[in-house]
């Protein structure tokens, strides 16, 4: 997988969350877990189960329940879960995805 392909994969996976939460960014944290950031929410989650491992959220409990249910729903879809697994793999093996993409072209 090239950096270009990894960035495309990241964009696809962010799209799963953008549909529900608006502008979302995904990044990787320690131990191969994924982190999503949107609005005032920062959450680290297990991309295989959708369970939150860390959550920084300031809002109402009902809103939090909806967010967690949505993340679990996305992670329970086999195709989306496979893409999230591939994204986590790319973060572990293709470092600094945001580096100059020209490296792929050389």
pLDDT of residue 69: 93
List Cβ neighbours of 56 (8 Å cut-off, separation of 6 or more). Answer: 41, 42, 43
The residues of the chain scoring below 50 in pLDDT are: 97, 101-102, 104-106
pLDDT of residue 28: 84
The C-alpha atoms of residue 26 and residue 38 are separated, in whole angstroms, by 9
Tens digit of pLDDT for each residue in 12-34? 999 999 988 888 898 887 778 89
From residue 48, give the alpha-carbon distance in Å to each of 9, 25, 42, 55, 102. Answer: 17, 18, 18, 17, 32
pLDDT of residue 101: 47
pLDDT of residue 96: 56
Domain boundaries, the chain: 3-96
């Amino acid at each position: 997988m090239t950096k270009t392909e990894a960035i495309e994969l990241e964009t696809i996976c962010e799209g799963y969350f953008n549909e529900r939460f608006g502008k979302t960014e995904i990044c990787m944290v320690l131990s191969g877990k994924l982190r999503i950031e949107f609005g005032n929410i920062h959450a680290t989650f297990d991309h295989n189960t959708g369970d939150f491992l860390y959550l920084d959220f300031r809002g109402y409990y009902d809103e939090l329940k909806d967010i967690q249910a949505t993340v679990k729903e996305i992670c329970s879809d086999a195709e989306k879960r496979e893409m999230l697994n591939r994204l986590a793999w790319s973060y572990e093996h293709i470092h600094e995805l945001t580096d100059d993409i020209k490296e792929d072209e050389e």
